[in-house]
Structure 1
Amino acid sequence: MITVWGGQTSRSLRAVWVLEEMGLPYRLRPVDMLAAERDPAWLAVNPGDFLPAIQDGDVTMVESVAIMEYLMGRYGPTPLQPAPDDPAFGAYQQFLHLGEAGLATLMMVPLVSGFLAPEAERDNWSARWARDCVERRRLLVQRQLQGAPYMAGDRFTAADISVSYALRLGGNHGFALSDAEQAYLARTTARDAYKRAYERSHEGVAA
């Protein structure tokens, strides 16, 4: 049984969404990242103390996109992951990683500054720089949506799971999404697997 360590608003949603799309059994172990003291069992899994993490037998993994790739590679093939000779493979790879490296990670700088920094330091140079970077990288998403409904073309893939998480994160924390981005999110989050993943992640119910 695959164990997903995560929280209600964490990147663990990406892993759970992949698991739901693939119909794989799993259980959730909630982690309270605001607790004054961390659960020793959690720190034994990831001493770096960031979400998410999974345990699959003897395999322990962190980093949400790496987890997604592991699950698809280990338990695929799956339509979520185009084959290397598929014409959609390049776009798939680009947006799978852009969703984290180019969007969600940078979004965290103004997000965390806004919540945790002293008030006088919240609108700091680094937060403004990161926000500008996100706005430029979102132009890639917006350009893709001008010609296709999904990040890899006409079909839903794991790249959409990656990008959808980032856009929702940004939309919930001060980034104004375009009409195309909002319509895209409406498509991706209307999927039954997303709805199940969202409900499970927010309930913290063990399978």
Structure 2
Amino acid sequence: CLLACSLAQDGHPAVLLEHLPKAPDTEDRRLYALSTASLQFLETQGLYSRLGPSCCRVFSDLEISVFREPARVRFAASDLGGFLLGGLVYASDLSRVLARRVSELGIPTQRFDPDELEQTAQGWVIGRGEAACRAALLVVAEGGQSRLRERFRIPVETLDYGEEALTFGLATEHDLGSTPRQVFTPWGPLGLLLAPDDIVQGVWSMPAATGAGVAR
């Protein structure tokens, strides 16, 4: 979506194509982790300022430690020549901001059936008849069960590291601060991030055999 906005802002024709049904207009409280590059891209589109502190938490420093020991390493984004290390944003808030920008730029959005996508010598044809779109560049963002991947036999490489990720949200009365933490524990690395609603979000990676016991 950001790529389409960037192209349209530079005067290039862009179309957003969706083959999934439109999601209901509800609050999607999933959190997306945004990299520094994604935040900078949002800023170039004038969208970063629209993501207020109530829906977006950004991080400018990081703390790395070993289980039950004082922090070993602390560094700031300024040490790396940047202004941010990344952030968390609620899915519904990000979707609304992007949808508003798409509307402002007049980018058309249309539904299509993946089976109607055809590759030609000049590029791609999406759809049929008068509603067909022709594109020199097609950017596809789909998951592992993509019909487009299957149709065009795009290979998918699966890597199994024998690990599981335990995710959780933690409400605590202790002030943990807004600094993200990476803690190396005997069971695997634990990442802690403070969400916009002051709930600590954790991701704990560990061997699959250990994960079930820890989850219980």
TM-score calculated relative to the size of structure 2: 0.23
Q: Tell which structure's C-alpha radius of gyration is larger.
A: 2
User: Which has more strand, going by share of residues?
Assistant: 2
Greater relative CO (CA pairs within 8 A, separation 6+): 1
User: Which has more helix, going by share of residues?
Assistant: 1
